[in-house]
Amino acid sequence: MGPLVPEVIGNELNFIVALFIGIAFGFILEQAGFSTSKKLVGLFYGYDFTVLRVFFTAGVTAMIGVIAFNHWGLLDMNLVYVNPTFLKSAIVGGLIMGLGFVVGGFCPGTSVCAAAIGKIDGMIFVGGSFLGVMIFAEGYPLFENLYLSDAWGNVRVFESLGMSQSFFAFLMIIVAVGAFWATTLVEKRVNGEPNPIFKRVKLYYGLTAIAVLIAISAFALPDRKENLLNKVNDENFTNSAKVKLMTSDELAFRIIDDDKNIQIFDLRIKKDFDSLNLPKSNNYTLGSLFEKDADKLLSLKNKKNIFIADDELTAKKGAAIAMKLGYTDIYILQGGLEQFKKDIIYFKMPETVNSQSEKDTYRFRTKASGLIPKLIQENKEKQKSSGEKKQKRVVGGC
Amino acid sequence: MNEKKYMNPYLAGFFLGLILLATIYITGRGLGASGAVKSVYTTIVESVFPGYTSSAKFYQEYGKEHPGNPLKNWLVFEVIGVIIGAFISGLISNRLKFKLEYSPKSSTKVRIAGALIGGLLFGFGAQLGRGCTSGAALSGMAVLSTGGLITMMAIFGGAYLFAYFFRKMWI
């Protein structure tokens, strides 16, 4: 599950990745003609809308990709850097940049491209941008208040607008396609002739139809997480899931035996988990089973994944979700944690013993009721000293 | 020598979108450009005035989020790549040439002044707005960040607002 950094791709390798991504980025920008200010400002004077076409297409393509990857469980959006919103500085900074765009004819990325192919005005622009950074840096105390004001956090636009992600994506695609058609007409009027690149009109009608179809499907595509979370609330669905059962005795035995291949997913609320938790267990909610933390553990081979909660049904919900997501070797604790407590932790020898097998079981449980609480305590000490190791959001930005 | 034609913009946009998507999938962050200027600038200041950067507030905030050598920064490596990539593209398209480009209605002096001041404004604005067209606008659109989209609209809206006053430089 993405992001691949930092587990699959280490922090050092990430820099090499940056280099190659930059090469591809610079190559495409130059190929598109972003290395000449003439083409770039054409957007603002109506004679060349290349910037809008490239920009909008790129943004929408990546947006659809991100939504799709997230939906298919390939990317954990909770860990992806989302530019934070500081309302005033976003607007003022943007306006200043807009002025810089029409005065200078470049933006930072394109100025670098232009400089790379020998454009002297591009190089001067890059030099100017250092001066701009210097003014901001040295004058920072003057700008600090504006810079830090109205901090909204890492909000996403559909949250701010109070609509669903799919609906916003749908709107964005429609707006993009509309803009493409409108600007083609404007370009034709300003230049007096249609843009020769778009000779094959039928092709573009076809592409538009595909784009609209994608837009509609984005809107209609149900969110996998929402879907599953709703489904498991239906008891029939959850009960029909063919999860394997593990008895308290077996779990107790494996814990005492320090079985390295068990992973316990504890679905109780944090308060209960914190006050008493079993070794080799981690706390999750049904929702967090969709995230990268859970995916890392559930994807490991040769592990037994045991879902526990106070009762069987809650644990079964988690197990059903895990199975639907494609993970294997899923178990639930028979009778839930309540049963485990009765059988093992707070085991009391019953009055009558009926058979040899019962005698053996009770002998084991007597031993376990001494060992398990000790292991729980040891585990608690270990947790306190190592602290919480959770996945953090990637630090990005400029 | 004939210059090769530019790539179809929708195709280029599609490829750019794929690059951005791959970037997000692999690294968990988007593209950027202006941040590299900040890193290089910080490095220069630190080498010319050692000790200064640990005292001034601007650098302290930056240093907190990016410990270690400011040049060992994702964006710096990315921008080095951009230079290389653009160069290669220019090379294979026969577009490598030292040139100061300006509209026939303008002049070299005006263009040089414009590039310098425009760069200054953009460099400053990108710091204030926490990103430029690549980092805030493009990457912001990909992850649907509110701040990114607001900055994007401000950049392009602002440009349209001011375009009329500078039209003599371009058309």
ipTM beyond cut 0.90: yes
Q: Could you identify the residue written with the tokens 């509209």?
A: B103
Contact state of A124 with B24 under an 8 Å Cβ cutoff:
no
Q: What percent of chain A has pLDDT over 70?
A: 97
Mean pLDDT is lowest, of A271-280, A387-396, B134-143, for A387-396
Indicate which of B65, B73, B82, B84 best probes the interface with A, i.e. most A CBs within 10 Å of its own CB: B82
Residue A253, min C-alpha distance to chain B (Å): 41
pLDDT for position B163: 94
Most confidently modeled range among A2-6, A92-96, A149-153: A92-96
Search chain B and give the residue with CA nearest A9: B26
Q: Mean pLDDT across the stretch A154-176?
A: 89
Tell me: pLDDT of A389 over 70.
Answer: no
Tell me: pLDDT of B4 over 80.
Answer: no
Please check whether residue B28 is in contact with residue A80, taking contact to mean a CB–CB distance below 8 angstroms: yes
pLDDT for position B2: 57
Which DSSP string corresponds to A298-354? HT-TT-EEEEE-SSHHHHHHHHHHHHHTT--SEEEETTHHHHHIIIIIT----S---
Spell B130-142 as b/e; 16+ CB within 10 A means b.
bbbbbbbbbbbbb
- DSSP 8-state symbol, A151: E
Q: Is B171 on the interface with A (CB under 8 A)?
A: yes
Most confidently modeled range among A147-151, A164-168, A387-391: A147-151
- Give the pairing of strands A151-153 and A85-86: antiparallel
Residue A188 vs residues A33, A56, A102, B9: alpha-carbon distances, Å: 19, 20, 22, 16
pLDDT for position A397: 66
Query: In B, which residues are within 8 Å of A165 by CB distance?
Result: 144
Q: What's at A82, amino acid-wise?
A: V
Indicate which of B3, B7, B89 best probes the interface with A, i.e. most A CBs within 10 Å of its own CB: B89
pLDDT for position A263: 94
Spell A35-72 as b/e; 16+ CB within 10 A means b.
bbbebbbbbbbebbbbbbbbbbbbbbbbbbbbbbbbbe
Residue A133 vs residues A43, A328, B33, B36, B66: alpha-carbon distances, Å: 26, 53, 13, 11, 17
For chain A, give the longest Cα–Cα distance: 101
pLDDT for position B113: 94
- Name the packing angle between helices B34-48 and A120-138 (round to 10°): 70
Average pLDDT along chain A: 88
Tell me: pLDDT of A126 over 90.
Answer: yes
Contact state of A30 with B14 under an 8 Å Cβ cutoff:
no
Of A62, A81, A131, the CB nearest to B123: A131
Q: Is B164 on the interface with A (CB under 8 A)?
A: no
Please check whether residue A210 is in contact with residue A165, taking contact to mean a CB–CB distance below 8 angstroms: no
Q: How far apart are CA A44 and CA A178, in angstroms?
A: 18
Q: Mean pLDDT across the stretch A2-28?
A: 91
Encoded tokens for A353: 């013993």
Burial level of A374, CB count in 10 A (0-12/13-18/19+)?
A: exposed
Query: In B, which residues are within 8 Å of A179 by CB distance?
Result: none
Contact state of B57 with A112 under an 8 Å Cβ cutoff:
no
Contact state of B24 with A75 under an 8 Å Cβ cutoff:
yes
Of B74, B130, B166, the CB nearest to A102: B166
Contact state of A397 with B84 under an 8 Å Cβ cutoff:
no
Q: How far apart are CA A189 and CA A185, in angstroms?
A: 6
A170 band by pLDDT with thresholds 50, 70 and 90? confident
Bond before B67 cis per omega within 30 degrees = no
Contact state of A108 with B166 under an 8 Å Cβ cutoff:
no
pLDDT for position B65: 66
pLDDT for position A393: 75
A221 band by pLDDT with thresholds 50, 70 and 90? low
Tell me: pLDDT of A387 over 70.
Answer: no
Residue B130, min C-alpha distance to chain A (Å): 6
Q: Mean pLDDT across the stretch A65-75?
A: 86
Contact state of A116 with B34 under an 8 Å Cβ cutoff:
no
Mean pLDDT is lowest, of A20-34, A67-81, A263-277, A323-337, for A67-81
Please check whether residue A255 is in contact with residue A375, taking contact to mean a CB–CB distance below 8 angstroms: yes
A200 band by pLDDT with thresholds 50, 70 and 90? confident
Q: Mean pLDDT across the stretch A197-221?
A: 75
Query: In B, which residues are within 8 Å of A153 by CB distance?
Result: none
Mean pLDDT is lowest, of A301-310, B78-87, B97-106, for B97-106
Query: In B, which residues are within 8 Å of A132 by CB distance?
Result: 119-127
Residue A285 vs residues A115, A293, A296, B34: alpha-carbon distances, Å: 52, 12, 16, 39
Q: Could you identify the residue written with the tokens 């799709």?
A: A68
pLDDT for position B123: 95
Tell me: pLDDT of B160 over 80.
Answer: yes
Q: How far apart are CA A114 and CA A110, in angstroms?
A: 6
Q: Mean pLDDT across the stretch A22-48?
A: 93
Average pLDDT along chain B: 89
Q: Is B136 on the interface with A (CB under 8 A)?
A: yes
Of A18, A66, A136, the CB nearest to B142: A66
pLDDT for position B102: 82
Query: In A, which residues are within 8 Å of B10 by CB distance?
Result: 53-54, 57, 180, 207
Tell me: pLDDT of B1 over 60.
Answer: no
Which DSSP string corresponds to A264-310? EEE-S-HHHHHHS--TTEEE--TGGGGSHHHHHHHT-TT-EEEEE-S
B101 band by pLDDT with thresholds 50, 70 and 90? confident
Contact state of A94 with B159 under an 8 Å Cβ cutoff:
no
Q: What percent of chain A has pLDDT over 90?
A: 50
Query: In B, which residues are within 8 Å of A36 by CB distance?
Result: 101
Of A5, A116, A119, the CB nearest to B99: A119
